[in-house]
Structure 1
Amino acid sequence: MTITTVSSREFQQNANQAQKAARSGPVFITNRGRTAHVLLSYEEYQRITGGRRSIVEALSMPGLEDTELEIPRGHTLPRPADLS
């Protein structure tokens, strides 16, 4: 694994190069000399997170506020959970 460090200015000027570098390892993006962000390939992100999203992450995805929930009529719904 190769770790690459670029300044935010370098990243803005050459994002393609940073994306290519992320294929072989994380790319640390600095702002005024301090690490501010890390660029990873999507495969590496999935490996680190286990490929799963929490319910909070899933429900906070952009665009979901326009999604309508349709529950077919005639189907029985599961009984409510007993939280006592």
Structure 2
Amino acid sequence: MKQMTSREFNHDIGKAKRAADDGPVLVTDRGRPAYVLMKYEHYRQSKPGGMTMFDLLRDDEAGDFEFDPPRVHDVGPRPAEFD
């Protein structure tokens, strides 16, 4: 993982973005890890379980999809089932 100081990051954001094209960039603050800069595409691919419903709803590139949740017919308390 590439690394740069917060001072370097603030001085040349373009350099940080170019470095993030190849992979995550660790930005340190006073010698301690503070932030990670990465391309959004890489971030989406790295999330466990893929995209969330929130991601799908806000992503213009995800396209349209049908969402028809099952109806709940039996509303109310039910007796406990013991096996």
TM-score exceeds 0.5: yes
Corresponding residue number in structure 2 for 1:6: 4
Secondary structure of 2:22's counterpart equals coil
For the pair 1:52 / 2:59, whether they are aligned, the reply is no
- Relative to structure 1, is the Cα distance of residues 36 and 54 closer, same or farther in structure 2, using a 3 angstrom cutoff? farther
Aligned residues: 65
Secondary structure of 1:25's counterpart equals coil
The Cα RMSD (Å) is 3.0
Asked which structure has the greater CA Rg, the reply is 2
- From 21, 39, 46, the equivalent of 2:37 is 39
Quote the sequence identity (%).
Answer: 38
CA distance in structure 2 between the aligned counterparts of 1:12 and 1:51, rounded to whole angstroms: 32
Runs of 5+ consecutive residues of structure 2 not aligned to the other structure: 59-69, 78-83
CA distance in structure 1 between the aligned counterparts of 2:28 and 2:53, rounded to whole angstroms: 29
CA distance in structure 1 between the aligned counterparts of 2:50 and 2:30, rounded to whole angstroms: 33
For the pair 1:29 / 2:48, whether they are aligned, the reply is no
The TM-score with structure 1 as length reference comes to: 0.61
The TM-score with structure 2 as length reference comes to: 0.61
**Would you identify which runs of 4 or more consecutive aligned residues in structure 1 move more than 6 Å?**
none
Q: Which amino acid aligns with 2:25?
A: V
Secondary structure of 2:33's counterpart equals strand
